[in-house]
Amino acid sequence: MNKDILVCGVGGQGTVLASKLIASAAMNLGYTVHSAETIGMAQRGGCVTSHIRIGAKAYSPLIPHGSADIILAFEPAEAVRNLAYLKKGGLVIVNNVPVKPVTESLNDTGYDGQDMLTYLQSKCECIIVDAKKLCADFGSTRYFNVAILGVAAGSGRLGLDVQTILAEIETRVPAKFAETNKAAFTAGVEYSAADHRQ
């Protein structure tokens, strides 16, 4: 298997954990994995992008433009910002809940993410995920980082099976949060099975 996966969002959304779960799951299956993160200046609210390259054809950690098989986007504007990485026929899985930047808070520009989602739908295959609805049973959208992995695994496009990722969650997530994270992941798999492609 050769797979290029880009995970993007803003600080505090759990993008780095999601990328580490993907990378370690692939390594445990015996694949060569390269990964790299770029983290914005702000500890919370800054742009975060993780590149994960799986397979023998990946010679460097950074995904070239036009090569990503999947973009997992935790925020609509970040999906658009990173869309140049997506290959033709690639899939974007995106959260429909925007994270308003500081400039929006100061200037009230009206940003709600809808224009970004409309743009994405016009450019590529998308699965738009309502993080609030998906994570409602778990009391917090903090579990979206694991739920979106479930959506990706359920789509059949991630290249990693459900049980392998569940085992990684068991290993890498602190014990007191493991069961909730596993439930959130499973909810994501079920969400994808309902076919929300747009």
pLDDT tens-digit series, residues 48-89:
899 999 998 888 899 999 999 999 999 999 999 999 999 999
Strands 47-54 and 3-10: antiparallel
Query: Is residue 120's pLDDT more than 60?
Result: yes
Report pTM.
Answer: 0.91
Q: For residues 117 and 96, what is the distance between their CA atoms, to the nearest angstrom?
A: 7
State how far the Cα of 172 lies from the Cα of 186, in Å rounded to an integer.
Answer: 17
What confidence tens digit (pLDDT) does each residue in 178-187 have?
A: 999 999 999 9
Please tell me the distance from the alpha carbon of residue 127 to that of residue 124, in angstroms, as a whole number.
10
Residue 167 neighbours by CB under 8 Å, 6+ apart: 25, 28
